[in-house]
Structures are given as structure tokens and as C-alpha cells.
């Protein structure tokens, strides 16, 4: 895991801070011209900065968002790099990453790839189809890359942006925390919700989604309840094309 932290881009914070004191209508008008609006988080590792725009899942990007995100990258990637050099003088390269928190290449609606294809018409080219397929780089300076990360790969990227392969199981930590959180929330729910969950658990068990306890590490067997493991197993299926 990287020791570097993901933060809100200081340039975005400054941009939004400049809108303080304006009316809601005026802020909305000014945000249309925002340079940093599509950037959700930023992380610097060594001489490279990573910016990510995060979408919740494989079908959350629609045609309107494709146009907006594509336009934002085309119009702003140069300014992102220039302002990055001002904020972090040691940075020499910028990666812009379109992240989907769950799903696989086979389950997305392909909108993230449409963004990349459109960028090929506006100053970007594929960096290396053999060793880095799907990674675009700007033709002018070869300093700005744009690519997508989905599901397991996205969380590995979050865990170690400069070497995702060394953090490929970060998504399991996320799912274990999610399973525990969902289980705690269920305990406070109404009777109808709890009954419906029992029916879902029965269906899931019949479909062999539930993990046999004896197949799990001792620390999970000891620390996680059946309900927490149910939610963990159910969430896990969103990261694989053929179940688990």
C-alpha cells in the first residue's frame, strides 16, 4: 500500500473557495466554467501526479456525461498539468484516470471507452498497444496520460497508483468493510426489510454464493458473522464475470 494520501485537489478547493459569498445561481453559472469540476481526488507519488474522476459503477456514465467528461479533459488537461507544476514543482507527469468502483470490462456499458476513443481525435494517441493497451498519452508533450480502471483494478490503483499489481487485493478490504457496514445497518432496519433479507440469503445460499466457513482464514471465521459474510459474498460477485 502506498503511504501517499488521496486528497481533494488543492486547485479545486481554491477554485470553489473563490465562489464563496456568491448567490446559489451565480455559483451555478460560474461552476459551468470550472477547470477542476470533473476531478474527484488527487495523489502525488514521486514525480507523477494522479487525478481520478470516480463513477460508482459500470452503468453510471451516460451519453451526456461522456460528452461532458470528454470536453473537460480536452479543454483542461493542459491547465491541469500547468497548475500541477505550480502546486507540485517536482511533478513531471500527470495521469488522468477514469475510475469505476465495481464491475468488469465485460459488464460496463462501454461509455468509459467512448471517452478514450473521442480523445484520439483531440491530441491524444495510444501510448503502446502491446505493453499498455488502452492508455492514451498527449502527442505534444508525452506528459499527460488518460486511461480507465474498473473494479478490482481501480481499487488496486487507489492502493498503489504507481504499482497497482502490488495492491491487487485492496478491493477485498473494501468489501469486508462494506459487508460489516451493511450488516450493522440491517440490524436497525424494520421487520419487513429483515424478512426480505432472510429470503435473499436463502436464495443466495441455494445459488452457492455463500462461502463455506471452513474454507475461510481463521481471522475471518472468528471476526465476521454469517450476515457480514453474506454481504461480502454478494458484493464480491460484482467484481467477477462468472461468479465466485
Which residue, chain included where needed, has cell 480536452?
74
152-211 pLDDT tens trace = 999 999 999 999 988 888 888 887 887 777 667 655 666 566 546 554 654 554 455 456
Alpha carbon separation from 137 to 39, 70, 78, 96, 133 (Å, rounded): 18, 14, 12, 10, 11
145 contacts: CB under 8 Å, gap ≥ 6: 93, 94, 95, 96, 127, 135, 136, 137, 138
Give the HSE-up count for residue 177: Cα atoms under 13 Å, Cβ half-sphere.
5
Asked whether the beta carbons of 14 and 42 are under 8 A apart, the reply is no
Is the entire prediction scored with pTM above 0.85?
no
Low-confidence winner among 48-57, 83-92, 131-140, 217-226 (lowest mean pLDDT):
217-226
Inter-residue contact 95 to 48 (CB < 8 Å): yes
Q: What is the pLDDT of residues 28-74, one digit of tens each?
A: 777 777 899 999 999 999 999 999 999 988 887 888 888 889 999 99
d(CA 1, CA 96) in angstroms, rounded, equals: 20
Q: Which three cell numbers stand for residue 50?
A: 494522479
> Residues of the chain with pLDDT > 70: what percent?
84
Please give the domain boundaries of the chain with CATH numbers for all domains: 10-167 (3.40.1560.10), 172-239 (no CATH)
Amino acid at each position: 500500500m502506498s503511504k501517499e494520501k488521496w486528497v481533494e485537489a488543492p486547485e479545486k478547493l481554491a477554485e470553489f473557495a473563490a465562489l464563496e459569498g456568491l448567490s446559489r445561481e451565480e455559483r451555478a453559472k460560474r461552476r459551468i466554467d470550472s477547470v477542476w469540476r470533473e476531478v474527484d481526488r488527487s495523489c502525488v507519488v514521486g514525480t507523477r501526479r494522479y487525478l481520478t474522476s470516480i463513477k460508482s459503477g459500470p452503468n453510471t456514465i451516460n451519453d451526456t456525461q461522456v460528452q461532458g467528461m470528454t470536453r473537460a479533459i480536452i479543454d483542461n488537461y493542459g491547465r491541469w498539468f500547468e497548475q500541477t507544476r505550480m502546486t507540485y514543482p517536482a511533478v513531471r507527469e500527470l495521469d488522468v484516470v477514469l475510475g469505476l468502483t465495481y464491475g468488469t470490462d465485460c459488464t460496463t456499458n462501454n461509455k468509459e471507452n467512448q471517452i478514450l476513443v473521442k480523445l484520439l481525435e483531440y491530441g491524444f494517441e495510444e501510448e503502446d498497444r502491446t505493453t499498455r493497451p488502452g492508455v492514451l498519452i498527449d502527442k505534444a508533450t508525452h506528459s499527460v496520460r488518460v486511461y480507465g480502471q474498473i473494479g478490482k483494478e481501480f481499487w488496486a490503483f487507489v492502493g498503489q497508483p504507481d504499482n497497482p499489481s502490488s495492491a491487487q487485493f485492496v478491493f477485498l478490504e473494501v468489501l469486508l468493510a462494506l459487508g460489516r457496514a451493511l450488516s450493522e445497518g440491517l440490524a436497525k432496519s424494520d421487520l419487513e426489510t429483515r424478512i426480505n433479507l432472510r429470503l435473499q440469503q436463502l436464495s443466495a445460499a441455494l445459488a452457492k454464493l455463500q462461502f463455506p466457513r471452513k474454507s475461510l482464514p481463521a481471522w475471518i471465521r472468528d471476526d465476521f458473522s454469517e450476515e457480514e459474510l453474506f454481504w461480502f459474498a454478494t458484493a464480491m460477485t460484482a467484481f467477477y464475470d462468472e461468479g465466485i
